[in-house]
């Protein structure tokens, strides 16, 4: 059995592992993410969703391709890895959605759910 005090003396320098990982370390450790914005043609809210997604990607420190699909859907709908970001039931009826995802919603969906823990 090794004495814990003896183990402490074996260290040759300070531990350099950060206590809290960077958000980019959390998110980029996962496989590539698929981001899809579904919307009807000329949806007036799709620009806002694009901006929210881009801001979340910058905050998380990752790059991703955002695919956009026009069709007869509840517009706009944001899917990350096939999951509707705000948890609404997905349906394919044309309608205007006012329950747009926030940057925090997108970060949660990207896997950076513990953002508050790492905020300074």
**Which pLDDT tens digit goes with each residue over 21-73?**
455 555 445 557 899 999 999 999 999 999 999 999 999 988 888 999 999 89
What are the structural domain ranges in the chain?
Answer: 20-118
- State residue 28's pLDDT score: 46
pLDDT attached to residue 47: 96
pLDDT confidence of residue 29 = 52
Burial-class residue 45 by CB neighbours within 10 Å (0-12, 13-18, 19+): middle
Q: How far apart are CA 42 and CA 44, in angstroms?
A: 6
Domain covering 20-118: architecture: 3-Layer(aba) Sandwich (3.40)
pLDDT of residue 111: 86
pLDDT digits (tens, 9 = 90+) for 82-96: 889 998 776 677 888
Alpha-carbon distance of 120 to 116, in angstroms, equals: 8
State pTM to two decimals.
0.67
């Amino acid at each position: 059995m090794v004495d814990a005090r003896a183990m402490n003396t074996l260290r040759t320098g300070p531990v350099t592992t950060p206590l809290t990982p960077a958000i980019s370390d959390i998110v980029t450790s996962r496989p590539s993410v698929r981001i899809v914005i579904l919307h009807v043609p000329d949806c007036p809210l799709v620009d806002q969703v694009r901006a929210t997604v881009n801001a979340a990607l910058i905050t998380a420190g990752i790059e991703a391709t955002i695919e956009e699909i026009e069709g007869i859907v509840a517009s706009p709908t944001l899917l990350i890895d096939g999951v509707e970001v705000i948890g609404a039931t997905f349906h394919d009826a044309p309608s205007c959605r006012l329950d747009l995802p926030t940057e925090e919603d997108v970060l949660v969906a990207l896997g950076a759910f513990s953002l508050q823990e790492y905020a300074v």
